[in-house]
Amino acid sequence: MRLGIFGGSFDPVHYGHLLLAETCREQCALDQVWLLPAAASPLKQDRHVAAARHRVDMLRLAVGGHPAMQISTLEIDRGGVSYTVDTLTAIHAQHPEAELFLLMGADAVADLPQWRAAARICELAILVVVRRAGTAEPSFDRLQTVTSPQRLELFRAHQVTMPIVELSSTDIRSRVARGQSIRYRTPRAVEKYIESHGLYR
């Protein structure tokens, strides 16, 4: 099984997240993509996020009916700060037969050598680097310190280009707080969930 792993806060999930997941699934011929909402991101510990149950429920509403998209609560169930290497290690132990693909934005490539156990991450999963249409190819040079030249070429071969979608969870939360519309920024079911549960007010 070719299994894509896509982690994030998803606070809330929006069409940019969903398009990234679907574009990677298609271009890399992935059998499944797992979306993993973080219990607490090491990069966002200073920010309050919506309760885990709300973020999971919104994700389930967003991908409902797509047979290749699954929600994994592995990081939430584990609790604490979510480190990618721990998540990949756990998934590999549970599914040793699966080939893992870690989906990430092009901006994350430069920072990856600073991540916990970056070399192990590069061993456990093929990095699928997503860039927006019309933007330059990301530089993989900084990864030379954490992986082999052969592995680096494999990562380069799995780049994905997706349409430009200028959406962010930060903007959606801000619009909700100001009483502005979020229609067509997130699935209608997620929009109604945010409204009915009074999130981000």
**Confidence band of 107 (pLDDT split at 50, 70, 90):** confident
Residue 43 lies in a domain: yes
Residue 173 lies in a domain: no
Residue 158 lies in a domain: yes
Residue 179 lies in a domain: no
CATH number, domain of 114, equals 3.40.50.620
Instruction: State the pLDDT at residue 136.
Output: 83
- Structural domain harbouring 121: 2-164
Q: How many domains does the chain have?
A: 1
Residue 192 lies in a domain: no
Q: List residues bridging with 6 in a β-sheet.
A: 35
Burial class from Cβ neighbours inside 10 Å (0-12, 13-18, 19+) for residue 93 reads: exposed
**Confidence band of 164 (pLDDT split at 50, 70, 90):** confident
Distances (CA, A) of 64 to 15, 31, 45, 67, 148: 14, 17, 29, 8, 39
Q: What is the pLDDT of residues 5-17, one digit of tens each?
A: 999 999 999 999 9
* CB of 176 closer than 8 Å to CB of 153: no
Residue 120 lies in a domain: yes
Tallying the residues shown for the chain, one arrives at 201
pLDDT over 70 (residue 45): no
Residue 185 lies in a domain: no
Residue 194 lies in a domain: no
